Amino acid sequence: MKYLFLFAFLGVFWWLWSKRNAPERSDSSVRQAPPAEKMLTCVHCGVHLPESEAVSDAGQIYCCEAHRAAARSAGR
Ligand SMILES: [Zn+2]
């Protein structure tokens, strides 16, 4: 019976320890990610968006597929 309490105590201690360490790690990775992303401007509507979400076509940057198609049909 003595060992049961010891294991329960160790289990709670380990749980609190992992709970305290986990958010710190994800927090720092979230904080590091945004400044690394380059911001671009859609030539059709002028909205700013991260490079990973941008649609590029013939050297022009668009925020979505619809604006790329709209600018293409309007320009030529
Ligand atoms: Zn746009």
Could you say which DSSP state residue 41 is in? E
Nearest to 68 by CA among 48, 33, 43: 43
Sequence spans of domains, the chain: 1-34, 37-76
pLDDT class for 65, splitting at 50, 70, 90? very high
Q: What is the pLDDT of residues 14-57, one digit of tens each?
A: 999 988 877 655 555 556 555 678 999 999 999 999 999 999 99
Query: What is the mean predicted confidence (pLDDT) over 6-21?
Result: 89
Report CA(7)–ligand 1 centroid distance (Å): 59
- For ligand 1, the distance from its centroid to the CA atom of residue 27, given in whole angstroms, is 31
> How far, in Å, from the CA of 59 to the mean position of ligand 1?
15
CA distance 52 to 47: 14
Ligand 1 centre from 48 Cα, in Å? 9
For residue 19, the model assigns a pLDDT of 86
Q: What is the pLDDT of residue 1?
A: 73
Q: What is the pTM of this model?
A: 0.50
